[in-house]
Amino acid sequence: MGFELESAGLTHGNGFRALQRVSLRVGRGERVAVIGPSGAGKTSLIRLLGTALRPTEGRLDVLGANPWRLSAGALRRLRARIGTIHQSPPIPPRLRVVTAIHAGRLGRWPAWKGLLSLLYPVDVAGAHAALARFDLADRLFERCDRLSGGQLQRVGIARVLYQQPDLILADEPVSALDPALADAALGELVAESARSGASLFASLHAVDLALKWFPRIIGLRGGEVVFDLPTARLTDSMLHELYAAEGAMLPVQARDAAAGATTDPEADAKVIRLDTSRGR
């Protein structure tokens, strides 16, 4: 099983209700995208599933265990099986790419191996393979502060793939990538999930990417699940209703990206307009 939430809720310390009455069940190997306007609670949901936050009400079950009833050691072992891709990769700028990738497996490696890898990278080939999937193999020994924002975001994804988790959580994993790269990177994530059987749960701002790559879509607004449907049964009016507060246009990465016609300068112009209209 991937994870299960039963009428879970999350109220922050300042009294803000980020999530309420969320009930979800995602099976092993399933691929689900969560979409919704800014502030809908997508990040909170991901952090809840990543055991970074504890639900204030309801029940949470991740990879067959309630993380908050486990012993410290068991919780660590559980966390090692969950890989979270953060929107802005939390990688220290002075770290080398190879070390940043290796950090993904710190939960699986014994401590001595982690320490040794700081002095001499223990698994160059593995890190190289993970980077190669995102066209970054030649950056293996560069320092992370020499990378662009988009490259760093892909390093963040590669780190999680290198971790080989059973559950991949992704919080807007391609927000800093141009349409073609975003599409390819999501493709790699989906391929990894298909290959390893890991469940993939991704929040996405671009509706078109969600529709293209995910068979099941969850709409989130105001901390509540608005719909939870197979992609085929999703209608335009449902989407428009979800984003009603953000104006008439749906946030998309690029209309043509899915068709692979990204060389069209028009597409880039559209993205820029969309970006500004989202108030980012």
Partner 1 sequence: MSASTQALSPPHRDPDTRARLGWTLVALVLLWPLLVLAEFRPWALFDAGNLRVMGSFLGGFLPPATSTEFLGYLLDATLETMAIATAGIALALLLAVPLSILSTRALAVSKIGPGPGRLGDRMARAAGRALLTFLRAIPEIVWALMFVRVLGLGPAAGVLALAITYGGMLGKVYTEILESIDTRPARAILEAGGGRFAALAYGLLPNAAQELTSYTVYRWECAVRASVIMGFVGAGGLGQLMDQSMKMLNGGEAATILFVFLVLVLFADSLSATLRRALA
Partner 2 sequence: MNETREPCAPRGAADFCLSCVLTCALVAAAVAGSFVYLGIDFGTLFSVGAGADMARFAASFFPPDLEPDFLRKTAYGALQTFAVAMIGTLLAAAAGLLLALPAAGRHGAAAERLSRFLLNLLRSVPELVWATLMVLAAGLGPFAGVLALALHTTGVLGRLFAEAIENAPPQPEQSLLETGSGGVPAFLYGTLPLVWAQSVAYGLYRLEMNIRMAAVLGFVGAGGLGQMLYFHLSIFQQAQAATVLIAMFVLVLAVDALSDRLRAWMGHS
Is 121 a binding residue for partner 1 by CB under 8 A? The answer is yes
Q: Could you give the 3-state DSSP secondary structure of residue 96?
A: strand
Three-state SS letters, 5-70: EEEEEEECCCCCEEEEEEEEEECCCCEEEEECCCCCCHHHHHHHHCCCCCCCEEEEEECCECHHHC
Residue from 14, 15, 111, 232 in contact with partner 2 (CB under 8 A) = 111
Residue 134 partner contact from partner 2, partner 1, none using kind-dependent CB cut-offs of 5 to 8 Å:
partner 1
| DSSP per-residue letters across 256-272 | TGGGT-TT-HHHHHHHH
Nearer to partner 1, 65 or 137 (CB): 137
Strands 167-171 and 82-85: parallel
Interface pattern 241-280 for partner 1 (x via CB under 8 A): ----------------------------------------
The sign one gets for the Cα dihedral 31, 214, 53, 134 is positive
Pairwise CA distance, residues 264 & 266, whole Å: 5
Residue from 9, 37, 83, 121 in contact with partner 2 (CB under 8 A) = 83
Interface pattern 144-173 for partner 2 (x via CB under 8 A): -------------------x-x--------
Residues that bind partner 2 (CB under 8 A): 50-52, 75-84, 86, 90-95, 99, 103-104, 106-109, 111, 114-115, 118, 163, 165
Residues that bind partner 1 (CB under 8 A): 96, 98, 119-121, 124-125, 128-129, 132-135, 137, 140-141, 184, 187-188
